[in-house]
Chains A and B, each alone.
Chain A
Amino acid sequence: MKNIQIILNAVLSKNIVEYILIDSDFRVVSSSTGVDQYLDVMPVKGDETVEHLPEFVGSEDEIKKIFSDASLSFALDSVYKNDYYVNVSVEYFDEKIALILLHNITDITLSQQKLLQYSNESILINSTLKNILDRQNALLFVTSHDEITYTNEQFMKYFGVKRVRDIKRKNVEIFKYFDESLESYDALFEKVNSKEEYITINNDTFILQATEIESTHKLFTLSKVTKLSKKMQLDTHTGAFKKSYFNDHLEKAIKSNVTAAIAVLDLDNFKLINDVYGHQTGDSVLQEVVSLIQENVRDDDVFARWGGEEFLLLLKHTNIENALKKVENLRRLLDEHQFKEINHLTSSFGVALLNPSDDLHSVLQRADKALYEAKAGGKNRVVFKSLK
């Protein structure tokens, strides 16, 4: 009675429900006249149900239980059938018959689809924008209260963090890399605003830019220019760094009070090489020396050409014992190296340790005096000049 009522209600309510009655062998018994709009052909008595309703394949056993238990039912929502969306349900009719109801929900589903399409497209646009941002230079978005609200993938990758909140936990504060006296992003913004500033983080050089986004947020952009910046700082003749680059690093080392040493290197009797073999050979010897030294110092160390056949080496984060050991190794390396065109060459080194009272001039002068002593002492040796 209940089921007949369902059908009657359906018929009376704008004919949005069609039905099929099936037996326990899963064959069609009868159907409503409008059911064919959802199916390829009008079902006739004796047809296999799954021929018309393939959505039941795999669920036959579950549906068969309905014949013996009136409390059970089976339902599938929003099944697309012949340009309509229908909710398909199976209910108990009697122990020999089950009732399949096809409820037309096309209008509401199409409305939902429009909303879903809009929502999905918005998510896709957001995802695309995120991908674009992630491929840009390192970006950092900070509120006027110094709270970091966004960083892109490039930024997180460089600093080895996975989430924005890890930046605070790891104490990554860009403003301190720029100037140790700065205490906030606001202060950094004031310094950088409308300009392009160089900033060194670890061993990399970045161009830092700051842009105000509305009055509430500031965007900091870090463009890595290490390679370009290093290339610009190289002596084109030998491939060693320029003296100006060495000076910058030496000044920073003095300011930051790190333990460091410098060495002045002079190739012994180099004038003779130029006189005997010619200047072209002299040039290639200089290049060979630079390659050898570069291969045997750390990335952190700075090896630069002072001029002529004189070179400078800044050894950071090292005490005098290790520095002297390192420089002696370099002297021996050059002494034992078989040069392509001149076979043998020796070198002299003057070494000085950085002292808090030093300035650029004083420490270079000390190392240069030590070099003078090495030369005067017979060349091919390392001499250390202490502060006293």
Chain B
Amino acid sequence: MIRKKILLLGDFSVGKTSLVRRYVDSAFDDKYLTTIGVKISKKLCNIAGVECELLIWDVEGSTPSKKISLGYYKGASGAIFVSDVGRRETMDSLGEQREIFLNENPGSKYVTAYNKADKLSEMAIENIVLEDDTFLTSAKDDSNVEELFTRLMEKMLA
């Protein structure tokens, strides 16, 4: 069976752990608990007939004073860059995080999640322009979470 390591990267409190929890356990908890270090979850998937074990690294969020240990980046086939759609600074910081990731893992694939979309009004959602492979997600409402992970898998297995 193919095993693939993927990372969830982004600033603290953007909902990385909640996205993993929603995708792996179909569960959600509103309470914010800071992730420290890394927690690895497994998920078996079948993408276009290919059996695959996804190893999802839920990595501690970046803060202005603490960047992520580069050791976590090694050997990743893909990454999901997560931001909180209600906190502009978390969207602005994704560019730098993508650059670091691709520098460590040239050729790796990635997708982007503008998370916590449940906080936005319908009108605000309509006004957001999404680039390719970028999803408006909500772990709370289970919106676009499966699609986010599936798209990354498709890109990695292509």
* B5 and chain A: residue at smallest CB distance: A58
The reply on A109 being an interface residue by CB < 8 A is yes
CB of A127 within 8 A of CB of B89, answer yes
* Smallest CB separation, B32 vs chain A (Å): 8
Bound together, the chains give a CA A121 to CA B37 distance in angstroms of 18
* Smallest CB separation, B105 vs chain A (Å): 9
20 extra A-B contacts, CB within 8 A, seeds A62-B74, A120-B12, A123-B64: A50-B3, A54-B3, A55-B38, A57-B3, A58-B75, A62-B75, A75-B71, A76-B38, A76-B72, A77-B69, A78-B36, A78-B38, A78-B60, A79-B37, A79-B39, A85-B37, A116-B34, A117-B34, A120-B34, A121-B32
CB of A123 within 8 A of CB of B55, answer no
Give the residue of B12, B32, B36, B55 whose beta carbon is less than 8 angstroms from that of A85.
Answer: B36
Could you say which residues of chain B place their CB within 8 Å of the CB of A120?
Answer: 12-13, 34, 61, 63
Instruction: Encode A109-144 as 1/0 by CB contact (under 8 A) with B.
Output: 100110011011101100100000000000000000
Bound together, the chains give a CA A112 to CA B63 distance in angstroms of 14
The answer to whether A80 and B34 touch (CB under 8 A), given A57-B3, A62-B75, is: no
The reply on B33 being an interface residue by CB < 8 A is yes
Instruction: Encode B11-47 as 1/0 by CB contact (under 8 A) with A.
Output: 0110000000000000000001110111110100000
The reply on B76 being an interface residue by CB < 8 A is yes
Instruction: Encode B93-128 as 1/0 by CB contact (under 8 A) with A.
Output: 000000000000000000000000000000000000
CB of A80 within 8 A of CB of B72, answer no
The reply on A215 being an interface residue by CB < 8 A is no
CB of A116 within 8 A of CB of B36, answer yes
* Smallest CB separation, B140 vs chain A (Å): 17
Bound together, the chains give a CA A113 to CA B60 distance in angstroms of 10
* Smallest CB separation, A41 vs chain B (Å): 14
Instruction: Encode B51-94 as 1/0 by CB contact (under 8 A) with A.
Output: 00001000011011010010110111100000000010100000
The answer to whether A58 and B76 touch (CB under 8 A), given A50-B3, A76-B71, is: yes
* B86 and chain A: residue at smallest CB distance: A131
Q: Which 5 A-B pairs have the closest CB atoms?
A: A58-B75, A78-B37, A58-B5, A80-B39, A117-B34
The reply on A71 being an interface residue by CB < 8 A is no
Sorting the interface of chain A by its residue count into under 10, 10 to 19, 20 to 34 or 35 or more gives 20 to 34
The reply on A216 being an interface residue by CB < 8 A is no
* B contact residues vs A (CB 8 Å cutoff): 3-5, 12-13, 32-34, 36-40, 42, 55, 60-61, 63-64, 66, 69, 71-72, 74-77, 87, 89
CB of A54 within 8 A of CB of B37, answer no
The reply on A357 being an interface residue by CB < 8 A is no
The reply on A203 being an interface residue by CB < 8 A is no
* A63 and chain B: residue at smallest CB distance: B75
Q: Which of A58, A113, A121 has the most CB of B within 10 A?
A: A58
Give the residue of A57, A77, A78 whose beta carbon is less than 8 angstroms from that of B75.
Answer: A57
* B57 and chain A: residue at smallest CB distance: A55
CB of A113 within 8 A of CB of B36, answer yes
Give the residue of A59, A109, A117, A121 whose beta carbon is less than 8 angstroms from that of B74.
Answer: A59
CB of B89 within 8 A of CB of A123, answer no
* Smallest CB separation, B38 vs chain A (Å): 6
* Smallest CB separation, B119 vs chain A (Å): 12
Could you say which residues of chain A place their CB within 8 Å of the CB of B69?
Answer: 77
* Smallest CB separation, B102 vs chain A (Å): 15
26 contacts between A and B (CB under 8 A): A50-B3, A54-B3, A54-B40, A54-B42, A58-B5, A58-B55, A60-B75, A76-B71, A77-B37, A77-B71, A78-B36, A78-B37, A79-B40, A80-B37, A80-B39, A80-B40, A85-B36, A116-B34, A116-B36, A116-B66, A117-B33, A117-B34, A119-B63, A120-B61, A120-B63, A123-B64
The answer to whether A113 and B34 touch (CB under 8 A), given A57-B3, A127-B89, is: yes
* Smallest CB separation, A55 vs chain B (Å): 6
Bound together, the chains give a CA A79 to CA B71 distance in angstroms of 11
* A78 and chain B: residue at smallest CB distance: B37
> Which residues in window 67-101 of A have CB below 8 A to B?
75-80, 85
Bound together, the chains give a CA A127 to CA B39 distance in angstroms of 27
> Which residues in window 124-171 of A have CB below 8 A to B?
124, 127
Could you say which residues of chain A place their CB within 8 Å of the CB of B74?
Answer: 58-59, 62
Q: Which of B13, B36, B40, B42 has the most CB of A within 10 A?
A: B36
* B38 and chain A: residue at smallest CB distance: A79
